[in-house]
Amino acid sequence: QVQLVESGGGLVKPGGSLRLSCAASGFTFSDYYMSWIRQAPGKGLEWVSYISGSSNTIYHADSVKGRFTISRDNAKNSLYLQMNSLRAEDTAVYYCARDQWEIHDWGQGTLVTVSS
C-alpha cells in the first residue's frame, strides 16, 4: 500500500534553514504530483508547495515563495522541501501528500519549530 514517511523536522532558530524529506513507496512515484501541506499548532491546513511528476510544474504559496523550494528525485522515490529564512510563523507539522487534486494519501507529518 501507499506509504509516505517524512523526516527532517526539528527545532531551528529564526533565519535558519531545514530540509524536509519524504520517502514514498507503494506506487509509481514519477507518475504523480506530490505536495507539501502544513498545519500550524491548533490551526487549519495550508497548501505550501506542489511539484509535477517530471518536476516541470512547481507551485509555492505566496507565504513561502522565495524562501522554500520543493524538489524530487524519482530515482530515489523521494520528495524534498528546502526551507530557508525560516520564521516563527513557519512553525507547523509538515505533511507530504500524493497529489491527485484531492489528497488520498498523507504522511504522518514532521514537526518544524522555529524559535530562538
Enumerate binding residues for other proteins (CB under 8 A). Answer: 44-47, 50, 59, 61, 95, 101-104, 106-109
**Minimum distance of other proteins from residue 98's CB (angstroms):** 11
- Output 5 or 17, the one with its CB closest to other proteins: 5
Q: Which is closer to other proteins, CB of 66 or CB of 116?
A: 66
Contact (Cβ atoms closer than 8 angstroms) between residue 83 and residue 94: no
Q: Which of 115, 114, 113, 110 is nearest to 36 (CA)?
A: 110
Nearer to other proteins, 74 or 111 (CB): 111
| Rounded distance between C-alpha atoms, residue 45 and residue 4, angstroms | 18
Smallest distance, Å, CB 4 to other proteins? 9
Q: How far is the CB of 14 from other proteins (least distance, A)?
A: 26
Nearest approach in angstroms of CB 55 to other proteins is: 15
Q: Over the Cα atoms of the chain, what is R_g?
A: 13
Q: In whole angstroms, what is the distance from residue 25 CA to residue 45 CA?
A: 24
Q: Alpha-carbon distance 89 to 114, whole Å?
A: 8
Of 13 and 43, the one with the shorter C-beta distance to other proteins is 43
